[in-house]
């Protein structure tokens, strides 16, 4: 076979690797009837209890068949700016907003265009896609420790530690907030301090707010504390993917200084060609102020309830719960002796899967290296994003059964070794 012209270091994101391994083991795709999508990062796409309806259609006229504007539909940019200004008291303009086809393309584009002297700082436990994006964009990054000792929630200052750096290096923390997979959230005074650090001259931040609404405050965004967006390297990433319940329309955005937005839209003019008009018009409907107000309540209530009761059930079955107070994941530690790899092998037989802590380890080698031991081998992420309230009891019973099976097998193996 001829050597490929394309990169040999382009595996699918960790979550997809789990999906492919699941399909090979279970014989059906995760998500098909009879499967339990605990590994999946999507929200319910049907109305939440007390939540708004989701628009069923959108009008498309002859104008919508034109090429879109590189930076986004004027109506959507306005709706996004109003979304932030209305809830967080900011004063951003449509010119501070650039529309992308989902959250990932915006994040990827910012990192792909970073100057060489900008170094990324990223938590040791973060969303798997960041590792792929940092690798493919050739970004320089260093990892900030996430440990049991710091509660998987290091202080803000840890992201801006300049030890060993020379003056020309500038720092860009990349933080999901609320965090995927840990659920840890910087809000209030802590978020204010983070943004103040990010606005200092040699600093910036890429704050990924995909889970903005998944917090008891009904909405958590750094924009509330930004002093002078146009004179900063603050980048906020948002999307319709989670709280607005529409991963399929592929609409996300970056909020940044006018100058940085202009650079991103220049990229769009030759590298993307704008974003689908029907999707952008659908997003305008999703962002109607009254609708979003209702969605904020429903998201915080429903997912807060699920976070609380799954957390209680997991603790009762002997798992250590290290989750923060946001998002729709639990960050869990297995009992001694059991690793997430083995848990998944056992879950696959029952049509279930989780995301291994290994995949969220931002210090692991990107290319497979069997000699690498991740400190998170016995950790995993459980997603309650796509789960209906009705499956709670059966989800808990299934995980309990698999843990019981493991304990019985381990006891048998120990007895055999002793005898």
Cβ 367 vs Cβ 350: under 8 Å: no
The pair of three-digit structure tokens given for residue 146, joined into one six-digit string: 């996430």
Minimum gap (Å) between residue 14 Cβ and ligand PLP: 12
From 72-80, 100-108, 153-161, 396-404, give the range in contact with ligand PLP by CB under 6 A: 100-108
**CB nearer to ligand PLP: pick between 141 and 313:** 141
Alpha carbons 103 and 125: distance in angstroms, whole number: 19
- Please choose, from the candidates 188, 220, 235, 175, the residue with its C-alpha nearest in 3D space to the C-alpha of residue 326: 220
Span 33-92, contacts to ligand PLP by CB under 6 A:
41
SS3 per residue for 124-173: CECCHHHHHHHHHCCCCEEEECCCCCCCCCCCHHHHHCCCCCCCCCEEEE
- Cβ proximity to ligand PLP: between 313 and 355 the closer is 355
Helix (H) or strand (E) holding 270: helix 258-271
Whole-number Å distance between alpha carbons of 162 and 148:
24
Instruction: Take residue 150 and report the two structure tokens written for it.
Output: 């710091």
* Ramachandran region, residue 87 (left: φ > 0; alpha: ψ -120 to 50; beta: rest): alpha
Per CB under 6 A, the list member of 19, 118, 210, 343 interacting with ligand PLP is 210
How far apart, in whole angstroms, are the C-alpha atoms of residue 10 and residue 132? Answer: 8
- Residue 360: which residues within 8 A CB-CB, separation 6 or more? 14, 125, 126, 127, 128, 181, 376, 379, 381
Site for ligand PLP in 288-307 (CB under 6 A): none
Per CB under 6 A, the list member of 51, 183, 252, 357 interacting with ligand PLP is 252
Q: Which two tokens stand for residue 78?
A: 């306005």
**Given the structure tokens 């290091």, which residue do they identify?**
154
Nearer to ligand PLP, 241 or 344 (CB): 241
Residue in 43, 52, 103, 326 binding ligand PLP, rule: CB under 6 A: 103
Q: Does 180 bind ligand PLP (CB under 6 A)?
A: yes
Residue 132 touches ligand PLP, criterion: CB under 6 A: no
- HSE, side-chain direction, 13 A CA sphere, residue 407: 11
Residue 127 in contact with ligand PLP, rule: CB under 6 A = yes
Residue 178 or 311: which CB sits closer to ligand PLP?
Answer: 178
Choice between 153 and 338, CB closer to ligand PLP: 153
By CB under 6 A, name the one of 40, 241, 245, 323 that touches ligand PLP: 241
By CB under 6 A, tell whether 178 contacts ligand PLP: no
Helices marked H in 272-365 = 277-286, 289-316, 340-348
Considering only 102-110, 135-143, 361-369, 386-394, which stretch makes contact with ligand PLP by CB under 6 A?
Answer: 102-110
What is the spatial distance between Cα 297 and Cα 293, in angstroms, rounded to a whole number?
Answer: 7
104 part of the interface to ligand PLP, by CB under 6 A: yes
Strand-pairing partners, residue 381, are 331, 355
Nearer to ligand PLP, 102 or 243 (CB): 102
Binding segment toward ligand PLP, per CB under 6 A, in 75-83, 99-107, 349-357, 364-372: 99-107
Query: Which of 239, 299, 313, 399 is close enough to bind ligand PLP by CB under 6 A?
Result: 239
Write down the least CB distance from residue 64 to ligand PLP, Å.
22
Is residue 176 within the footprint of ligand PLP (CB under 6 A)?
yes
Backbone angles phi, psi at 174, to 5 degrees: -115, 115
Residue 279 CB, shortest distance to ligand PLP, in Å, is 12
Q: Which residue is nearest to ligand PLP (CB)?
A: 103
For the CB of residue 104, give the shortest distance to ligand PLP in the complex, in Å: 3
Which positions lie near ligand PLP, rule CB under 6 A? 41, 102-104, 127, 176, 180, 208, 210, 239, 241, 247, 252
């Amino acid at each position: 076979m001829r050597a490929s012209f394309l990169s040999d270091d382009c595996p699918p994101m960790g979550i997809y690797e789990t999906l492919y391994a699941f399909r090979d083991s279970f014989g059906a795709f995760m998500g098909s009837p009879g499967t339990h999508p605990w590994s999946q990062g999507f929200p319910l796409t049907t109305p939440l209890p007390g939540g708004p309806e989701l628009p069923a259609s959108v009008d498309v006229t002859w104008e919508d068949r034109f090429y879109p504007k590189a930076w986004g539909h004027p109506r959507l940019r306005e709706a996004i700016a109003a979304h932030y200004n209305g809830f967080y008291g900011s004063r951003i303009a449509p010119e501070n907003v650039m529309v992308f086809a989902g959250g990932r393309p915006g994040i990827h584009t910012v990192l792909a265009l970073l100057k060489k002297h900008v170094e990324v700082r990223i938590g040791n436990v973060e969303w798997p896609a960041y590792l792929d994006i940092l690798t493919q964009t050739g970004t320089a990054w260093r990892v900030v420790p996430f440990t049991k000792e710091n509660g998987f929630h290091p202080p803000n200052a840890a992201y801006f530690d300049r030890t060993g750096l020379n003056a020309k290096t500038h720092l860009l923390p990349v933080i999901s907030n609320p965090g995927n997979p840990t659920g840890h959230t910087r809000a209030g005074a802590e978020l204010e301090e983070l943004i103040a650090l990010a606005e200092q001259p040699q600093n910036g931040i890429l704050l990924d707010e995909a889970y903005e609404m998944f917090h008891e405050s009904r909405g958590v965004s750094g924009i509330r504390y930004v002093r002078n967006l146009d004179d900063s390297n603050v980048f906020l990433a948002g999307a319709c993917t989670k709280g607005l319940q529409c991963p399929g329309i592929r609409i996300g955005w970056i909020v940044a200084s006018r100058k940085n937005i202009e650079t991103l839209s220049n990229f769009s003019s030759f590298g993307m060609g704008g974003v689908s008009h029907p999707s952008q018009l659908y997003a305008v409907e999703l962002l109607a102020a009254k609708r979003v107000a209702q969605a904020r309540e429903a998201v915080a209530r429903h997912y807060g309830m699920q976070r609380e009761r799954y957390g209680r059930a997991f603790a009762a079955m002997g798992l250590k719960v290290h989750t923060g107070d946001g998002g729709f994941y639990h960050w869990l530690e297995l009992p001694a002796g059991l690793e997430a790899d083995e848990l998944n092998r056992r879950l696959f037989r029952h049509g279930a899967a989780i995301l291994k802590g290994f995949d969220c380890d931002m210090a692991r080698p990107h290319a497979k290296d069997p000699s690498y031991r991740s400190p998170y081998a016995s950790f995993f992420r459980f997603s309650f994003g796509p789960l209906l309230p009705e499956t709670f009891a059966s989800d808990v019973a299934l995980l309990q059964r698999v843990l019981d099976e493991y304990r019985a097998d381990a006891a048998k193996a120990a007895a055999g070794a002793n005898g």
